[in-house]
Amino acid sequence: MNTLIKFIFVGVVGLLAACNSSSKAPDVSFHTLDGDDITLQSLKGNVVFLKFWATDCTTCVAQMPDTAQYHTDYADKGLSVIAVAMKHDPVNYVRNFTESRQLPFTVALDSDGSVAKAFDDVRLTPTAFLIDRQGHIVRRYVGNYDKQTFINTLEKALAG
């Protein structure tokens, strides 16, 4: 029995370490709604909030005002926000949504799904990643999350 408890303990500690360790974000290219091409590598030195979303995702739509506020409050401190529209989302829907809500941050299209695939094959929206100034994933967020906890994590990343 003692051996079983040690085995479980070691397994749990290993799992926690894996969940808390930061991994390098893949160096992907984004094609923005404005027609520009940017790479994640070109944003190194900034903290990046990368959010996968869709216009037909009610949680994504509900979170957009907060995402816009994060951009407004922290862009001058080194935050880059990129909202990546999923491949099933028609470009005209994404453009209409972006323009009608006057989104102040970069909106990118993942027309072939390659960006979502590079980030562990994202399929659920919203899924977001907070990436530190060195290009490491600090945290992955799926669905709703506590705003104050996010802001605390964001401010820590910006300070680091």
Dump pLDDT digits (tens) for 101-153.
999 999 999 999 999 999 999 999 999 999 999 999 999 999 999 999 999 99
* Residue ranges making up the domain that contains 32: 24-159
* Pick from 108, 153, 109: nearest CA to 129: 153
DSSP letter string, 104-116: -SEEEE-TTSHHH
- Domain-located, residue 14: no
| Confidence tier at 21 by pLDDT (50, 70, 90) | very low
- Domain-located, residue 95: yes
CATH of the domain at 155: 3.40.30.10
Q: What percent of the chain has pLDDT over 70?
A: 86
Please report where in the chains the tokens 């994404």 appear, as a residue.
94
| Count of structural domains within the chain | 1
- Domain-located, residue 94: yes
- Domain-located, residue 6: no
- Omega within 30 of 0 (cis) for the link into 126: yes
- Domain-located, residue 2: no
- Domain-located, residue 141: yes
- Domain-located, residue 87: yes
- Domain-located, residue 70: yes
